[in-house]
Amino acid sequence: MSSSAAKAAIRTALHLLCWLPAAWLFYLAATDGLGANPAEALLRSLGDWALRFLCVALAVTPLRQWLHWPQLAAYRRMLGLYTFFYATLHWLAYVVFDMGLDWAGIVADLPKRPFILVGTLAWLVLLVLAVTSLPALVRRLGGRRWQKLHRAVYAVAILGVLHFWWMRAGKNHFGDVWVYGSILAALLMARVAWAVQRRRLRAAVR
Amino acid sequence: MLIQDNDSGFIHPNSSEITSQSLYLQRRQWLRLAAAGGMAATGSAVWAQGKAVEGLAQMTSVKSTVAGAMTMEPLTPYTDARSYNNYYEFGLEKEDPARNAPSLKTRPWTVKVEGLVNKPRTFGIEELLKLSPMEERIYRLRCVEGWSMVIPWIGYSLSKLLAQVEPQGSAKYVEFVTLADDKQMPGLKSRVLDWPYTEGLRLDEAMHPLALLAFGMYGNELPKQNGAPLRLVVPWKYGFKSAKSIVTIRLTEKEPGTAWNKAARNEYGFYSNVNPGVPHPRWSQETERRIGEGGLFAKRHKTLLFNGYEAQVGALYAGMDLKKNF
Protein backbone atom coordinates (compact mmCIF):
# COMPACT_ATOMS: atom_id res chain seq x y z
CA MET A 1 0.00 0.00 0.00
CA SER A 2 1.40 3.37 -0.91
CA SER A 3 1.72 5.87 1.87
CA SER A 4 -1.01 8.09 0.45
CA ALA A 5 -3.39 5.14 0.26
CA ALA A 6 -2.56 4.30 3.89
CA LYS A 7 -3.24 7.90 4.82
CA ALA A 8 -6.61 7.82 3.09
CA ALA A 9 -7.49 4.57 4.86
CA ILE A 10 -6.58 6.03 8.25
CA ARG A 11 -8.60 9.10 7.44
CA THR A 12 -11.68 7.08 6.55
CA ALA A 13 -11.35 4.94 9.67
CA LEU A 14 -10.99 8.05 11.80
CA HIS A 15 -14.07 9.64 10.23
CA LEU A 16 -16.10 6.53 10.99
CA LEU A 17 -14.83 6.50 14.55
CA CYS A 18 -15.71 10.16 15.01
CA TRP A 19 -19.24 9.56 13.73
CA LEU A 20 -19.79 6.60 16.02
CA PRO A 21 -21.03 8.51 19.12
CA ALA A 22 -23.48 10.53 17.03
CA ALA A 23 -24.75 7.40 15.31
CA TRP A 24 -25.12 5.61 18.64
CA LEU A 25 -27.06 8.51 20.16
CA PHE A 26 -29.26 8.68 17.07
CA TYR A 27 -29.95 4.98 17.41
CA LEU A 28 -30.84 5.37 21.11
CA ALA A 29 -33.10 8.34 20.34
CA ALA A 30 -34.88 6.39 17.61
CA THR A 31 -35.40 3.30 19.77
CA ASP A 32 -36.53 5.06 22.95
CA GLY A 33 -33.28 4.10 24.64
CA LEU A 34 -32.46 7.45 26.22
CA GLY A 35 -34.30 6.85 29.50
CA ALA A 36 -37.02 8.79 31.31
CA ASN A 37 -35.74 12.22 30.26
CA PRO A 38 -34.47 11.73 26.69
CA ALA A 39 -33.91 15.43 25.97
CA GLU A 40 -31.65 15.80 28.98
CA ALA A 41 -29.78 12.56 28.23
CA LEU A 42 -29.13 13.63 24.63
CA LEU A 43 -28.11 17.16 25.61
CA ARG A 44 -25.65 15.92 28.24
CA SER A 45 -24.10 13.16 26.12
CA LEU A 46 -23.50 15.57 23.26
CA GLY A 47 -21.88 18.03 25.66
CA ASP A 48 -19.65 15.26 27.00
CA TRP A 49 -18.63 14.30 23.47
CA ALA A 50 -17.81 17.88 22.53
CA LEU A 51 -15.49 18.06 25.55
CA ARG A 52 -13.93 14.70 24.74
CA PHE A 53 -13.20 15.73 21.16
CA LEU A 54 -11.74 19.00 22.40
CA CYS A 55 -9.37 17.03 24.66
CA VAL A 56 -8.35 14.76 21.78
CA ALA A 57 -7.83 17.64 19.35
CA LEU A 58 -5.72 19.53 21.86
CA ALA A 59 -3.72 16.39 22.65
CA VAL A 60 -2.50 16.04 19.05
CA THR A 61 0.36 18.52 19.28
CA PRO A 62 1.78 17.32 22.64
CA LEU A 63 1.49 13.68 21.52
CA ARG A 64 3.22 14.49 18.25
CA GLN A 65 6.15 15.92 20.17
CA TRP A 66 6.40 13.27 22.86
CA LEU A 67 5.97 10.37 20.49
CA HIS A 68 8.11 11.97 17.76
CA TRP A 69 5.29 11.24 15.41
CA PRO A 70 4.91 14.30 13.17
CA GLN A 71 2.31 12.64 10.92
CA LEU A 72 -0.28 13.15 13.65
CA ALA A 73 -0.51 16.82 12.73
CA ALA A 74 -2.45 15.86 9.63
CA TYR A 75 -5.47 14.91 11.74
CA ARG A 76 -5.57 17.90 14.02
CA ARG A 77 -7.88 20.08 11.96
CA MET A 78 -10.23 17.18 11.37
CA LEU A 79 -10.51 16.49 15.11
CA GLY A 80 -11.04 20.18 15.72
CA LEU A 81 -13.89 20.16 13.25
CA TYR A 82 -15.49 17.17 14.98
CA THR A 83 -15.27 19.12 18.23
CA PHE A 84 -17.27 21.83 16.48
CA PHE A 85 -19.65 19.19 15.10
CA TYR A 86 -20.50 17.80 18.57
CA ALA A 87 -20.62 21.25 20.13
CA THR A 88 -23.10 22.24 17.43
CA LEU A 89 -25.26 19.17 18.02
CA HIS A 90 -25.12 19.96 21.75
CA TRP A 91 -26.21 23.53 21.07
CA LEU A 92 -28.96 22.37 18.69
CA ALA A 93 -30.20 19.88 21.29
CA TYR A 94 -30.53 22.79 23.71
CA VAL A 95 -32.34 24.98 21.18
CA VAL A 96 -34.64 22.29 19.78
CA PHE A 97 -35.24 19.77 22.55
CA ASP A 98 -34.64 21.79 25.69
CA MET A 99 -36.17 25.10 24.57
CA GLY A 100 -38.48 23.93 21.78
CA LEU A 101 -37.20 26.63 19.40
CA ASP A 102 -38.62 29.33 21.67
CA TRP A 103 -36.16 32.04 20.64
CA ALA A 104 -37.58 34.70 22.94
CA GLY A 105 -37.23 32.20 25.79
CA ILE A 106 -33.66 31.44 24.75
CA VAL A 107 -32.69 35.11 24.74
CA ALA A 108 -34.35 35.57 28.14
CA ASP A 109 -32.52 32.47 29.35
CA LEU A 110 -29.02 33.83 28.74
CA PRO A 111 -28.85 36.31 31.63
CA LYS A 112 -30.88 34.01 33.89
CA ARG A 113 -28.62 31.04 33.39
CA PRO A 114 -25.08 32.40 33.01
CA PHE A 115 -23.61 28.97 32.29
CA ILE A 116 -25.60 28.94 29.07
CA LEU A 117 -24.14 32.31 28.13
CA VAL A 118 -20.64 30.93 28.68
CA GLY A 119 -21.42 27.80 26.67
CA THR A 120 -22.84 29.89 23.84
CA LEU A 121 -19.69 32.03 23.80
CA ALA A 122 -17.53 28.91 23.58
CA TRP A 123 -19.62 27.65 20.69
CA LEU A 124 -19.40 31.00 18.85
CA VAL A 125 -15.60 30.94 19.08
CA LEU A 126 -15.62 27.39 17.72
CA LEU A 127 -17.88 28.57 14.90
CA VAL A 128 -15.35 31.21 13.89
CA LEU A 129 -12.55 28.65 13.99
CA ALA A 130 -14.58 26.16 11.95
CA VAL A 131 -15.48 28.69 9.28
CA THR A 132 -11.90 29.88 8.97
CA SER A 133 -10.87 26.27 8.45
CA LEU A 134 -12.38 26.30 4.99
CA PRO A 135 -9.35 25.86 2.69
CA ALA A 136 -10.04 29.09 0.79
CA LEU A 137 -10.12 31.07 4.02
CA VAL A 138 -7.02 29.37 5.41
CA ARG A 139 -5.16 30.46 2.27
CA ARG A 140 -6.57 33.93 2.44
CA LEU A 141 -5.60 34.41 6.07
CA GLY A 142 -2.12 33.02 5.59
CA GLY A 143 -0.54 30.40 7.83
CA ARG A 144 0.75 32.67 10.53
CA ARG A 145 -2.45 34.67 11.00
CA TRP A 146 -4.53 31.51 10.82
CA GLN A 147 -2.44 29.94 13.55
CA LYS A 148 -2.68 33.01 15.74
CA LEU A 149 -6.45 33.11 15.35
CA HIS A 150 -6.75 29.42 16.11
CA ARG A 151 -5.02 29.84 19.46
CA ALA A 152 -8.52 30.96 20.49
CA VAL A 153 -9.20 27.25 20.95
CA TYR A 154 -7.50 27.65 24.35
CA ALA A 155 -10.24 30.09 25.27
CA VAL A 156 -12.78 27.47 24.16
CA ALA A 157 -11.19 24.97 26.53
CA ILE A 158 -11.41 27.39 29.44
CA LEU A 159 -14.97 28.47 28.60
CA GLY A 160 -16.03 24.86 28.07
CA VAL A 161 -14.80 23.74 31.47
CA LEU A 162 -16.29 26.84 33.09
CA HIS A 163 -19.63 26.04 31.40
CA PHE A 164 -19.54 22.48 32.71
CA TRP A 165 -18.40 23.50 36.17
CA TRP A 166 -21.13 26.14 36.43
CA MET A 167 -23.74 23.67 35.30
CA ARG A 168 -22.75 21.46 38.19
CA ALA A 169 -22.02 24.18 40.76
CA GLY A 170 -24.34 24.31 43.72
CA LYS A 171 -25.01 20.62 43.36
CA ASN A 172 -21.40 19.87 44.33
CA HIS A 173 -21.25 17.16 41.75
CA PHE A 174 -17.86 17.77 40.21
CA GLY A 175 -16.41 14.30 39.53
CA ASP A 176 -16.21 14.49 35.74
CA VAL A 177 -15.70 18.25 35.70
CA TRP A 178 -12.40 17.48 37.44
CA VAL A 179 -11.50 14.85 34.87
CA TYR A 180 -12.00 17.12 31.85
CA GLY A 181 -10.68 20.14 33.73
CA SER A 182 -7.38 18.46 34.63
CA ILE A 183 -6.86 16.96 31.18
CA LEU A 184 -7.43 20.31 29.50
CA ALA A 185 -5.35 22.13 32.11
CA ALA A 186 -2.46 19.70 31.53
CA LEU A 187 -2.73 20.20 27.76
CA LEU A 188 -2.69 23.98 28.16
CA MET A 189 0.18 23.82 30.65
CA ALA A 190 2.23 21.81 28.16
CA ARG A 191 1.92 24.72 25.73
CA VAL A 192 2.92 27.25 28.36
CA ALA A 193 5.97 25.12 29.20
CA TRP A 194 7.02 25.03 25.54
CA ALA A 195 6.57 28.72 25.12
CA VAL A 196 8.83 29.35 28.12
CA GLN A 197 11.38 26.85 26.82
CA ARG A 198 11.40 28.42 23.35
CA ARG A 199 11.89 31.85 24.79
CA ARG A 200 14.85 30.61 26.87
CA LEU A 201 16.40 28.92 23.84
CA ARG A 202 16.03 32.04 21.77
CA ALA A 203 17.64 34.10 24.53
CA ALA A 204 20.52 31.62 24.75
CA VAL A 205 21.14 31.72 20.99
CA ARG A 206 21.36 35.45 21.12
CA MET B 1 -63.07 28.89 51.87
CA LEU B 2 -60.92 30.62 49.33
CA ILE B 3 -62.44 31.96 46.18
CA GLN B 4 -60.77 30.40 43.19
CA ASP B 5 -61.10 30.38 39.46
CA ASN B 6 -60.72 27.49 37.12
CA ASP B 7 -57.29 28.57 35.99
CA SER B 8 -55.55 28.04 39.28
CA GLY B 9 -53.84 24.83 38.30
CA PHE B 10 -56.73 22.44 37.99
CA ILE B 11 -60.46 22.32 38.15
CA HIS B 12 -62.09 21.32 41.37
CA PRO B 13 -65.46 19.65 41.27
CA ASN B 14 -68.35 21.05 43.24
CA SER B 15 -68.84 19.12 46.43
CA SER B 16 -72.11 17.80 44.99
CA GLU B 17 -70.14 16.14 42.20
CA ILE B 18 -67.73 14.34 44.48
CA THR B 19 -68.50 10.68 44.85
CA SER B 20 -69.34 9.93 48.45
CA GLN B 21 -66.83 7.77 50.23
CA SER B 22 -69.31 4.99 50.91
CA LEU B 23 -70.31 4.80 47.26
CA TYR B 24 -66.66 4.93 46.30
CA LEU B 25 -65.82 2.07 48.62
CA GLN B 26 -68.74 0.08 47.26
CA ARG B 27 -67.37 0.58 43.79
CA ARG B 28 -63.97 -0.55 44.89
CA GLN B 29 -65.53 -3.62 46.40
CA TRP B 30 -67.27 -4.27 43.12
CA LEU B 31 -64.08 -3.76 41.19
CA ARG B 32 -62.25 -6.14 43.41
CA LEU B 33 -64.94 -8.74 42.87
CA ALA B 34 -64.91 -8.06 39.17
CA ALA B 35 -61.16 -8.42 39.02
CA ALA B 36 -61.32 -11.60 41.04
CA GLY B 37 -63.93 -12.91 38.61
CA GLY B 38 -61.54 -12.41 35.75
CA MET B 39 -63.37 -9.42 34.28
CA ALA B 40 -61.42 -6.56 32.83
CA ALA B 41 -61.78 -3.88 35.46
CA THR B 42 -61.28 -0.60 33.65
CA GLY B 43 -61.23 1.43 36.84
CA SER B 44 -58.12 -0.29 38.06
CA ALA B 45 -56.38 -0.14 34.70
CA VAL B 46 -54.51 2.89 36.02
CA TRP B 47 -52.74 0.70 38.50
CA ALA B 48 -52.16 -2.19 36.17
CA GLN B 49 -48.60 -1.09 35.64
CA GLY B 50 -48.12 -0.76 39.39
CA LYS B 51 -49.35 -4.20 40.20
CA ALA B 52 -47.32 -7.24 41.05
CA VAL B 53 -44.02 -5.44 41.41
CA GLU B 54 -41.42 -7.79 42.72
CA GLY B 55 -40.89 -7.47 46.43
CA LEU B 56 -43.33 -4.59 46.93
CA ALA B 57 -46.47 -5.11 48.98
CA GLN B 58 -49.68 -3.78 47.53
CA MET B 59 -51.48 -1.13 49.57
CA THR B 60 -55.15 -0.37 49.76
CA SER B 61 -56.32 3.18 50.16
CA VAL B 62 -59.30 5.47 49.76
CA LYS B 63 -59.42 8.41 47.40
CA SER B 64 -58.48 11.55 49.31
CA THR B 65 -61.08 14.23 49.88
CA VAL B 66 -58.51 16.90 50.78
CA ALA B 67 -58.97 19.93 48.49
CA GLY B 68 -56.45 19.86 45.65
CA ALA B 69 -55.30 16.32 46.41
CA MET B 70 -56.38 14.83 43.10
CA THR B 71 -54.97 16.45 39.99
CA MET B 72 -56.55 15.08 36.84
CA GLU B 73 -53.46 15.04 34.65
CA PRO B 74 -52.19 11.83 33.07
CA LEU B 75 -49.95 9.86 35.40
CA THR B 76 -46.22 9.57 34.83
CA PRO B 77 -45.47 5.95 33.86
CA TYR B 78 -44.57 3.98 36.97
CA THR B 79 -41.33 2.76 35.37
CA ASP B 80 -40.14 6.38 34.96
CA ALA B 81 -41.17 7.38 38.49
CA ARG B 82 -39.09 4.59 39.98
CA SER B 83 -36.09 4.74 37.64
CA TYR B 84 -35.46 8.48 37.38
CA ASN B 85 -34.67 9.58 40.91
CA ASN B 86 -32.66 12.08 42.86
CA TYR B 87 -31.60 10.36 46.05
CA TYR B 88 -27.96 11.31 46.56
CA GLU B 89 -27.47 8.83 49.41
CA PHE B 90 -27.57 6.22 46.66
CA GLY B 91 -25.55 8.05 43.99
CA LEU B 92 -25.52 11.21 41.95
CA GLU B 93 -26.91 10.01 38.63
CA LYS B 94 -30.63 9.56 38.09
CA GLU B 95 -30.33 5.82 37.54
CA ASP B 96 -28.12 5.24 40.62
CA PRO B 97 -30.86 5.08 43.30
CA ALA B 98 -32.79 2.31 41.53
CA ARG B 99 -29.55 0.38 41.21
CA ASN B 100 -28.16 0.98 44.71
CA ALA B 101 -31.19 1.33 46.96
CA PRO B 102 -31.93 -2.40 47.32
CA SER B 103 -29.28 -2.42 50.07
CA LEU B 104 -31.57 -0.26 52.23
CA LYS B 105 -33.19 -2.16 55.10
CA THR B 106 -36.68 -0.81 55.71
CA ARG B 107 -37.64 -3.21 58.53
CA PRO B 108 -37.39 -2.74 61.44
CA TRP B 109 -37.85 1.03 61.14
CA THR B 110 -38.63 3.66 63.71
CA VAL B 111 -39.32 7.37 63.56
CA LYS B 112 -38.47 9.50 66.54
CA VAL B 113 -40.69 12.55 66.99
CA GLU B 114 -39.13 14.95 69.48
CA GLY B 115 -38.41 18.55 70.39
CA LEU B 116 -41.06 21.05 71.41
CA VAL B 117 -43.89 18.56 71.86
CA ASN B 118 -45.83 17.45 74.92
CA LYS B 119 -45.65 13.77 74.04
CA PRO B 120 -42.36 12.91 72.37
CA ARG B 121 -42.47 9.37 71.04
CA THR B 122 -40.73 6.86 68.88
CA PHE B 123 -43.09 5.23 66.42
CA GLY B 124 -42.53 1.86 64.82
CA ILE B 125 -43.32 1.69 61.12
CA GLU B 126 -46.19 -0.76 61.74
CA GLU B 127 -47.73 1.73 64.12
CA LEU B 128 -47.39 4.53 61.58
CA LEU B 129 -48.98 2.45 58.85
CA LYS B 130 -52.09 2.10 61.05
CA LEU B 131 -52.15 5.59 62.53
CA SER B 132 -54.67 7.01 60.06
CA PRO B 133 -56.57 5.67 57.03
CA MET B 134 -54.42 5.50 53.90
CA GLU B 135 -55.46 7.97 51.23
CA GLU B 136 -54.62 8.01 47.58
CA ARG B 137 -53.53 11.43 46.30
CA ILE B 138 -52.43 12.37 42.82
CA TYR B 139 -49.93 15.19 43.09
CA ARG B 140 -47.72 17.03 40.70
CA LEU B 141 -44.10 16.68 41.73
CA ARG B 142 -41.86 19.48 40.49
CA CYS B 143 -38.10 19.10 40.73
CA VAL B 144 -35.89 22.19 40.99
CA GLU B 145 -34.06 20.80 37.95
CA GLY B 146 -36.96 21.74 35.71
CA TRP B 147 -38.78 18.45 35.31
CA SER B 148 -42.02 17.21 36.79
CA MET B 149 -44.05 14.06 37.28
CA VAL B 150 -47.62 13.24 38.21
CA ILE B 151 -47.59 10.59 40.91
CA PRO B 152 -50.36 8.76 42.76
CA TRP B 153 -49.10 8.65 46.34
CA ILE B 154 -50.54 6.71 49.27
CA GLY B 155 -50.38 8.13 52.76
CA TYR B 156 -52.05 10.61 55.07
CA SER B 157 -51.61 14.22 56.12
CA LEU B 158 -48.49 14.84 58.20
CA SER B 159 -50.75 16.76 60.60
CA LYS B 160 -52.24 13.43 61.70
CA LEU B 161 -48.89 12.37 63.06
CA LEU B 162 -48.04 15.76 64.55
CA ALA B 163 -51.36 15.80 66.40
CA GLN B 164 -50.28 12.62 68.21
CA VAL B 165 -47.32 14.32 69.85
CA GLU B 166 -49.07 17.62 70.67
CA PRO B 167 -46.79 20.45 69.46
CA GLN B 168 -46.13 23.11 72.10
CA GLY B 169 -47.08 26.73 71.56
CA SER B 170 -43.43 27.71 71.16
CA ALA B 171 -42.88 25.26 68.28
CA LYS B 172 -42.57 27.16 64.99
CA TYR B 173 -40.71 24.80 62.70
CA VAL B 174 -40.47 21.11 61.92
CA GLU B 175 -37.17 19.50 60.99
CA PHE B 176 -36.96 16.20 59.11
CA VAL B 177 -33.89 13.99 59.24
CA THR B 178 -33.19 11.25 56.70
CA LEU B 179 -31.36 8.01 57.47
CA ALA B 180 -27.58 8.27 56.96
CA ASP B 181 -25.99 4.83 57.23
CA ASP B 182 -22.91 4.36 55.10
CA LYS B 183 -23.28 0.59 55.28
CA GLN B 184 -26.54 0.82 53.38
CA MET B 185 -26.03 4.02 51.43
CA PRO B 186 -22.99 4.07 49.13
CA GLY B 187 -23.64 7.70 48.12
CA LEU B 188 -22.67 9.00 51.56
CA LYS B 189 -19.03 8.64 50.53
CA SER B 190 -19.49 11.41 47.99
CA ARG B 191 -19.49 14.24 50.56
CA VAL B 192 -21.77 16.15 48.22
CA LEU B 193 -23.92 17.20 51.13
CA ASP B 194 -23.49 17.48 54.85
CA TRP B 195 -25.10 14.17 55.89
CA PRO B 196 -27.57 13.33 57.25
CA TYR B 197 -29.93 14.99 54.80
CA THR B 198 -32.12 17.43 56.67
CA GLU B 199 -35.10 19.46 55.57
CA GLY B 200 -37.59 21.70 57.28
CA LEU B 201 -40.98 23.35 57.11
CA ARG B 202 -42.67 26.07 59.08
CA LEU B 203 -45.17 24.45 61.44
CA ASP B 204 -48.19 25.88 59.62
CA GLU B 205 -46.87 24.49 56.33
CA ALA B 206 -46.34 21.12 57.96
CA MET B 207 -49.89 21.20 59.35
CA HIS B 208 -51.41 21.99 55.95
CA PRO B 209 -53.57 19.03 54.89
CA LEU B 210 -51.74 18.75 51.54
CA ALA B 211 -48.40 18.05 53.28
CA LEU B 212 -48.37 14.29 52.94
CA LEU B 213 -46.59 11.57 54.84
CA ALA B 214 -46.34 8.98 52.09
CA PHE B 215 -45.87 5.25 52.47
CA GLY B 216 -46.73 4.11 48.97
CA MET B 217 -47.25 5.01 45.35
CA TYR B 218 -49.00 3.48 42.34
CA GLY B 219 -50.91 1.07 44.57
CA ASN B 220 -47.80 -0.39 46.18
CA GLU B 221 -45.58 0.42 49.12
CA LEU B 222 -42.82 2.90 48.18
CA PRO B 223 -39.88 1.51 46.21
CA LYS B 224 -36.69 2.07 48.17
CA GLN B 225 -35.29 4.53 45.64
CA ASN B 226 -38.41 6.65 46.13
CA GLY B 227 -37.86 6.99 49.87
CA ALA B 228 -39.18 3.86 51.57
CA PRO B 229 -40.49 3.17 54.07
CA LEU B 230 -41.87 6.68 54.53
CA ARG B 231 -41.21 10.09 53.09
CA LEU B 232 -42.66 13.53 52.96
CA VAL B 233 -44.40 14.96 49.89
CA VAL B 234 -44.97 18.71 49.87
CA PRO B 235 -46.52 19.27 46.46
CA TRP B 236 -46.22 23.06 46.28
CA LYS B 237 -42.46 23.03 46.90
CA TYR B 238 -39.55 21.73 44.85
CA GLY B 239 -38.99 18.01 45.29
CA PHE B 240 -35.89 18.29 47.44
CA LYS B 241 -37.99 19.78 50.26
CA SER B 242 -39.62 16.38 50.71
CA ALA B 243 -37.22 14.26 52.77
CA LYS B 244 -37.03 10.54 52.06
CA SER B 245 -36.60 7.59 54.43
CA ILE B 246 -37.27 9.75 57.49
CA VAL B 247 -35.90 8.69 60.88
CA THR B 248 -36.39 11.81 63.00
CA ILE B 249 -38.96 14.59 63.10
CA ARG B 250 -38.06 17.44 65.41
CA LEU B 251 -40.14 20.46 66.39
CA THR B 252 -38.11 23.60 66.98
CA GLU B 253 -38.47 27.26 67.70
CA LYS B 254 -35.72 28.37 65.29
CA GLU B 255 -35.66 27.80 61.56
CA PRO B 256 -33.74 24.56 61.07
CA GLY B 257 -30.80 24.43 58.68
CA THR B 258 -31.52 22.39 55.58
CA ALA B 259 -29.06 20.25 53.64
CA TRP B 260 -29.30 22.10 50.32
CA ASN B 261 -29.46 25.51 51.92
CA LYS B 262 -26.21 24.75 53.74
CA ALA B 263 -24.62 23.54 50.50
CA ALA B 264 -25.57 26.61 48.45
CA ARG B 265 -27.44 29.25 50.40
CA ASN B 266 -28.06 31.53 47.43
CA GLU B 267 -29.53 28.77 45.29
CA TYR B 268 -31.75 26.71 47.58
CA GLY B 269 -33.75 28.86 49.94
CA PHE B 270 -35.53 27.60 53.03
CA TYR B 271 -38.97 27.96 51.47
CA SER B 272 -38.21 26.72 47.97
CA ASN B 273 -41.80 27.15 46.87
CA VAL B 274 -42.25 26.39 43.19
CA ASN B 275 -42.15 29.85 41.63
CA PRO B 276 -41.72 30.62 37.92
CA GLY B 277 -40.77 34.19 38.85
CA VAL B 278 -37.64 33.22 40.80
CA PRO B 279 -34.99 31.83 38.44
CA HIS B 280 -32.23 29.53 39.57
CA PRO B 281 -28.71 29.94 38.11
CA ARG B 282 -29.15 26.71 36.15
CA TRP B 283 -32.89 26.32 35.71
CA SER B 284 -34.94 29.30 34.63
CA GLN B 285 -38.05 27.79 36.34
CA GLU B 286 -40.54 29.31 33.91
CA THR B 287 -41.21 25.97 32.29
CA GLU B 288 -40.83 22.30 33.08
CA ARG B 289 -40.53 19.03 31.24
CA ARG B 290 -43.14 16.45 32.15
CA ILE B 291 -41.37 13.11 32.41
CA GLY B 292 -42.85 10.33 30.30
CA GLU B 293 -44.69 12.66 28.01
CA GLY B 294 -43.98 12.02 24.37
CA GLY B 295 -40.20 11.83 24.31
CA LEU B 296 -37.81 14.23 22.63
CA PHE B 297 -40.24 16.58 20.95
CA ALA B 298 -42.69 17.03 23.83
CA LYS B 299 -43.38 20.67 24.58
CA ARG B 300 -42.46 21.97 28.00
CA HIS B 301 -45.25 23.04 30.37
CA LYS B 302 -45.51 26.47 31.90
CA THR B 303 -44.62 26.24 35.56
CA LEU B 304 -47.36 27.43 37.92
CA LEU B 305 -46.87 29.40 41.12
CA PHE B 306 -46.85 26.97 44.07
CA ASN B 307 -46.85 24.21 41.44
CA GLY B 308 -50.54 24.93 40.82
CA TYR B 309 -51.59 24.66 44.46
CA GLU B 310 -51.91 28.40 44.97
CA ALA B 311 -55.60 28.22 45.81
CA GLN B 312 -54.85 25.83 48.64
CA VAL B 313 -51.59 27.17 50.08
CA GLY B 314 -51.29 30.78 48.88
CA ALA B 315 -52.67 32.09 52.16
CA LEU B 316 -49.72 30.62 54.06
CA TYR B 317 -47.49 33.22 52.44
CA ALA B 318 -49.73 36.28 52.59
CA GLY B 319 -47.63 39.42 52.97
CA MET B 320 -44.34 37.63 52.36
CA ASP B 321 -41.91 38.71 49.67
CA LEU B 322 -41.48 35.41 47.85
CA LYS B 323 -38.46 36.71 45.94
CA LYS B 324 -36.62 37.36 49.17
CA ASN B 325 -38.04 34.33 50.93
CA PHE B 326 -37.44 32.00 48.01
Separation of alpha carbons A80 and A76, rounded Å: 6
Average pLDDT for B268-279: 97
What mean pLDDT, rounded, does chain A reach?
Answer: 92
**What is the pTM (predicted TM-score) of this model?**
0.85
- Mutation site, A109, A110, A171, A173, interface B, largest B CB count within 10 A: A171
Q: A111 touching B, CB under 8 A?
A: no
Distance of CA B278 to the CA centre of its chain: 22
B79 pLDDT above the threshold of 80: yes
Residues in B touching A35 (Cβ below 8 Å): 83-84, 94-95
Residues in B touching A164 (Cβ below 8 Å): none
Separation of alpha carbons A42 and A44, rounded Å: 6
Q: A31 touching B, CB under 8 A?
A: no
Beta-strand pair B287-290/B147-157: parallel
User: In sequence order, what DSSP letters do the residues of A133-175 get, joined into one string?
Assistant: TSHHHHHHH-HHHHHHHHTTHHHHHHHHHHHHHHHHTTTT--H
pLDDT of residue B193: 93
Q: A2 touching B, CB under 8 A?
A: no
Query: Using one digit for the tens of pLDDT, what is the confidence trace for A55-88?
Result: 999 999 999 988 888 888 889 999 999 999 999 9
Q: Please, is B264 exposed, middle or buried when counting C-beta atoms within 10 Å of its C-beta (0-12, 13-18, 19+)?
A: middle
Q: Report ipTM (2 d.p.).
A: 0.85
pLDDT of residue A175: 86
Residue B237's closest CA among B271, B213, B282? B271
Query: Using one digit for the tens of pLDDT, what is the confidence trace for B99-113?
Result: 999 999 999 999 999
- 3-state class of A109 per DSSP? helix
Residues in B touching A100 (Cβ below 8 Å): 299-300
Separation of alpha carbons B280 and B303, rounded Å: 13
Q: A172 touching B, CB under 8 A?
A: yes
pLDDT of residue B31: 44
Residue B235's closest CA among B155, B324, B173, B125? B155
Categorize the per-residue pLDDT at B7 as very low, low, confident or very high, splitting at 50, 70 and 90. Answer: very low
Residues in B touching A171 (Cβ below 8 Å): 192, 263-264
Separation of alpha carbons B12 and B76, rounded Å: 21
Categorize the per-residue pLDDT at A169 as very low, low, confident or very high, splitting at 50, 70 and 90. Answer: confident
Q: B23 touching A, CB under 8 A?
A: no
Asked if A113's CB is within 8 angstroms of B94's CB, the reply is: no
